[in-house]
Amino acid sequence: SQQGEEDPQALSIQEGENATMNCSYKTSINNLQWYRQNSGRGLVHLILIRSNEREKHSGRLRVTLDTSKKSSSLLITASRAADTASYFCATDEVDSSYKLIFGSGTRLLVRP
Amino acid sequence: GAGVSQSPRYKVAKRGQDVALRCDPISGHVSLFWYQQALGQGPEFLTYFQNEAQLDKSGLPSDRFFAERPEGSVSTLKIQRTQQEDSAVYLCASSLGWGARTDTDTQYFGPGTRLTVL
């Protein structure tokens, strides 16, 4: 079974626009991570945010975490065609921190 | 340096056949993970090794699934008597440490093996 739900399931935007994806989860966590998956390729780690952090930036990525609502968002600014991919959030479990539990993903299409 | 590699990249098996999927983790990585990803879904945890010890196999769907990492490096996921519901992408990941609490424990994923059972 999967921990989280991502919203929206699919998103289509124009190059240069911002893309926002949301993730909700069910249980207490140590941290939350976002991964990107291009078609036919493996998952690439984007960013990790700890449960005691509220916001984190990395390049064009901005992640927020609200542990009271058990939700996170990923913002990609100034999107590029190369950002086209599926994006997954992944949480761990407090008692088994090695085990990543993935959401169902958001499929992002950035139109040139 | 080299990332996680998996072989074969694609495998087609007839129902009832046994298959073996190989994972070469990043050199020196202590932890190794196997995940199963069904079409249109996120990966689901199968099993976890710390060096050669299999510490968690709670995600293996049935006793037809078996994983090993005898020398603490290369790992093999074996599926016996494959069924159509085993069709999925099998992802291997490795990490330097043994948790997911810090950036040093980031899991690095291989490209996966796409298994199709006819």
d(CA B42, CA A106): 10
Closest in B41, B45, B103 to A101, CB measured: B45
Give the gap in angstroms from C-alpha B96 to the nearest C-alpha of chain A: 12
pLDDT of residue B100: 53
Other C-beta atoms closer than 10 Å to the C-beta of A5 total 16
The residue type of B83 is Q
Residue B81 has, within 13 A of its CA and on its CB side, a CA count of: 3
* A42 confidence band (pLDDT: 50, 70, 90): confident
For B91, the closest of A30, A31, A43 (CB atoms) is A43
Tell the burial category of A60 from Cβ atoms under 10 Å away from its Cβ (0-12, 13-18, 19+): middle
How do residues B71-114 score in pLDDT, each as one tens digit? Answer: 999 999 999 999 999 999 999 999 988 765 555 578 899 999 99
Query: What sign does the CA torsion over A36, B29, B101, B93 have?
Result: positive
pLDDT digits 0-9 by tens, B23-63 = 999 999 999 999 999 998 999 999 999 999 999 999 999 99
Strands (E) across chain A are located at: 5-7, 10-14, 19-24, 31-37, 43-50, 55-58, 61-66, 71-76, 85-93, 96-102, 106-111
For all residues of chain A together, what is the average pLDDT?
Answer: 91
pLDDT band at A82 (very low <50, low <70, confident <90, very high): very high
Mean pLDDT to the nearest integer, A42-66: 94
| A110 near B CB under 8 A | no
**C-beta separation of B25 from B5 below 8 A:** no
Residue A93, pLDDT score: 76
A41 lies within 8 A of chain B by CB: yes
Q: What is the pLDDT of residue A2?
A: 52
Predicted local distance difference test score (pLDDT) of residue A29: 87
Query: Is the predicted pLDDT of residue A28 greater than 80, yes or no?
Result: yes
Residue from A28, A100, A104 to probe the interface with B (highest B Cβ count within 10 Å) = A100
pLDDT in tens, A1-20: 456 688 899 999 999 999 99
Is the pLDDT at A107 greater than 80, yes or no?
Answer: yes
To the nearest 10°, the Cα dihedral for B81, B41, B36, B8? 80
What pLDDT is attached to residue A99?
86
Contact A103/B at CB under 8 A: yes
